[in-house]
Amino acid sequence: MLSANEQRVTMVGDAGGLSDTISAIATPQGRGGIGIIRISGSQAVDIALALCNRNQPFSPRFAHFHHWYDAKGDTIDHGLTIYFAGSNSYTGEDTVELQAHGSPVLLQALFERTLELGCKAAEPGEFTRRAVEHGKIDLSQAEAVVACIDAATLRAAKQAQKQLDGAFGRRISQYMDDLTSVVAHVEACLDFPEDEVPELFYDQLHTRVETDLIQPIEQQLNSKLGERLFEGATVAIIGEPNVGKSSLLNTLSGRDRAIVTDIAGTTRDTLEVDFEVNGIPIRLVDTAGLRTTNDIVEQEGVKRAKSAAETADIIIFVADAARSETWNPEDHFKDLYIHLKVMNKIDVADVTPPSDFLAVSIKSESGLDALVETIAKQLGDFDLADESAMVTSSRHRIALQTSLAHIQAGLDMLGREEMIDLTAMEWRRAWSTLGEILGIGDVEFILDKVFSEFCIGK
């Protein structure tokens, strides 16, 4: 078994079949100040020289001002041509970027000219895929590129950048190197008769697998914050009529979105508003007050409120401090887990709410900071000491879970001589499952799937 790094270097040699030079409009569709065409591959420089009608080579990383010509020699557009040589480029192969005017028609004409000159139109994510296949970045870093672009909040974007810097990938590589080492150790036992392997040897190996692999992987898996940062979370506000649900939605989101009156039954439909808590994107759902009614519109509202609660990631149950009959979620939900119970209107009632309630007054804005912090905690914030290890996608979570199961299965058999082969096999499986995260090994189908979610030009 090679180390994760050795394996990556081997892949550079494997990166045959990439002789096509690709091109794409890399900036988003529509008009803009600047539009960029990206060309990558062995013919990139020749194609760019032909486009510029130029004989002299380009200086790498130098902005050359040029006109770009069509087949008849007429100017299509003019702008900057920048050449990135081989291993110093994003893709790991010769790349040329044309910074043109952001006119969709001119960009299209320029792009079509690159095709005439021998480029192939790039597939979605093909530039980044080449970067992975040339060993410039690992697959988790490639995914971080998309995460960075798609991030809805600054915190999510910063987290994606940490992954792009390779912190997460390095952690996975470390696990893989640890596995390589422990496999080597168990295999060494095969060369000795059973009674010559000291008891201590297995104990030490056991401790090592526990502390270097099982515990840190479990810790990583325990927090769902990473996925929440990118996928967001739905928070439903439920409770009886007139307790202040709509007021809470307006206050938390900072928008006067829902109608608030002192008439019980004001909200009749579900209503959603997006905001963020500590950089975690949240969809907040206000619902109709829960009560038995003959009004068919309100009946439908109550039905929708219940279904919003059932599908939410977090349920906030709001009660009115002055009306103890509103304090029991069990009156409406038998089996639903309520994540957060809020006792509102403590400004008007001199009561001590049950200890599982958080006392607030939306009117006098008291207790709201604690409420926001509790929501963040419920979403997994503050769980991780080292956030660079955060699991940010379900693909990584599944791979880590599967790998952990193999590590544990191997560990359970450790110490029984007849099982040594099986232990080594389980740990090798754990190794290749971790390799899938980085795009190492026989992972063509994984690459196809991951890169199909990219945009063209990236």
Ligand X SMILES: Nc1nc2c(ncn2[C@@H]2O[C@H](COP(=O)(O)OP(=O)(O)OP(=O)(O)O)[C@@H](O)[C@H]2O)c(=O)[nH]1
Q: Which residues of 322-355 are buried (b: 16+ CB within 10 A; e: fewer)?
A: eeeebbebeebbeebeebbbbbbbbeebeeebee
Residue 250 sits at φ, ψ, to 5 deg, of: -65, -45
- Taking the CA atoms of 175, 177, 178 and 182 in sequence, report the sign of the dihedral they define: positive
Kindly state whether residue 344 participates in binding ligand X, applying the rule CB under 6 A.
Answer: yes
Report, in Å, the least distance between residue 299 CB and ligand X.
14
Report, in Å, the least distance between residue 352 CB and ligand X.
17
Residue 262 interacts, among ligand X, Mg ion, none and using kind-specific CB cut-offs from 5 to 8 Å, with ligand X
Counting every residue written for the chain, the total comes to 458
Kindly state whether residue 92 participates in binding ligand X, applying the rule CB under 6 A.
Answer: no
Residues sharing a CB contact under 8 Å with residue 5, sequence separation 6 or more, in sequence order: 173
Residue 403 interacts, among ligand X, Mg ion, none and using kind-specific CB cut-offs from 5 to 8 Å, with none
Kindly state whether residue 370 participates in binding ligand X, applying the rule CB under 6 A.
Answer: no
Kindly state whether residue 270 participates in binding ligand X, applying the rule CB under 6 A.
Answer: no
Residue 361 interacts, among Mg ion, ligand X, none and using kind-specific CB cut-offs from 5 to 8 Å, with ligand X
Q: Of the candidates 23, 361, 378, 433, which one interacts with ligand X according to CB under 6 A?
A: 361
Q: Which stretch binds ligand X (CB under 6 A): 4-12, 135-143, 261-269, 376-384?
A: 261-269
Residues sharing a CB contact under 8 Å with residue 264, sequence separation 6 or more, in sequence order: 241, 242, 289, 291
Identify which of residues 253 and 433 has a Cβ nearer to ligand X in the complex.
Answer: 253
Q: Of the candidates 195, 256, 262, 444, which one interacts with ligand X according to CB under 6 A?
A: 262
Identify which of residues 272 and 387 has a Cβ nearer to Mg ion in the complex.
Answer: 272
Residue 348 interacts, among ligand X, Mg ion, none and using kind-specific CB cut-offs from 5 to 8 Å, with ligand X
> Closest residue (Cβ) to ligand X?
289
Residues sharing a CB contact under 8 Å with residue 391, sequence separation 6 or more, in sequence order: 220, 221, 223, 226, 227, 397, 400
Site for Mg ion in 211-250 (CB under 5 A): 245-246
Report, in Å, the least distance between residue 267 CB and Mg ion.
3
Site for ligand X in 218-237 (CB under 6 A): none
Report, in Å, the least distance between residue 265 CB and ligand X.
5
Which among 234, 223, 230 has a CA at the least distance from the CA of 155? 230
Site for ligand X in 162-201 (CB under 6 A): none
* Identity of the amino acid at 104: P
Residue 7 interacts, among ligand X, Mg ion, none and using kind-specific CB cut-offs from 5 to 8 Å, with none
Which among 434, 400, 381, 438 has a CA at the least distance from the CA of 144? 438
Identify which of residues 289 and 415 has a Cβ nearer to ligand X in the complex.
Answer: 289
Q: How many CB atoms lie within 10 A of CB 364?
A: 12
Kindly state whether residue 244 participates in binding ligand X, applying the rule CB under 6 A.
Answer: yes
Identify which of residues 241 and 435 has a Cβ nearer to ligand X in the complex.
Answer: 241
Kindly state whether residue 265 participates in binding ligand X, applying the rule CB under 6 A.
Answer: yes
Angle at 353 between CA 349 and CA 358, to 5 degrees: 105
* Identity of the amino acid at 258: A
Kindly state whether residue 253 participates in binding ligand X, applying the rule CB under 6 A.
Answer: no
Cα separation, 290 vs 298, in Å, equals 9
Tell me how far CA of residue 130 lies from CA of 10, 19, 165, 168, 444, in angstroms.
14, 11, 18, 20, 13
Q: Which stretch binds Mg ion (CB under 5 A): 18-26, 191-199, 266-274, 446-454?
A: 266-274
Which among 237, 249, 374 has a CA at the least distance from the CA of 309? 237
Q: Of the candidates 345, 396, 406, 458, which one interacts with ligand X according to CB under 6 A?
A: 345
Q: Of the candidates 23, 27, 267, 403, which one interacts with Mg ion according to CB under 5 A?
A: 267
Report, in Å, the least distance between residue 322 CB and ligand X.
8
Cα separation, 181 vs 204, in Å, equals 13
Alpha helices by DSSP H, listed for 78-214, are: 104-116, 126-133, 139-150, 154-165, 167-189, 199-209
Residue 264 interacts, among Mg ion, ligand X, none and using kind-specific CB cut-offs from 5 to 8 Å, with ligand X
How many residues bind ligand X, per CB under 6 A? 23
Of the CA atoms within 13 Å of residue 140, those in its CB half-sphere come to 33
Identify which of residues 264 and 370 has a Cβ nearer to ligand X in the complex.
Answer: 264
Residues at the interface with ligand X (CB under 6 A): 239, 241-247, 260-262, 264-267, 289, 344-345, 347-348, 361-363
Residues at the interface with Mg ion (CB under 5 A): 245-246, 266-267
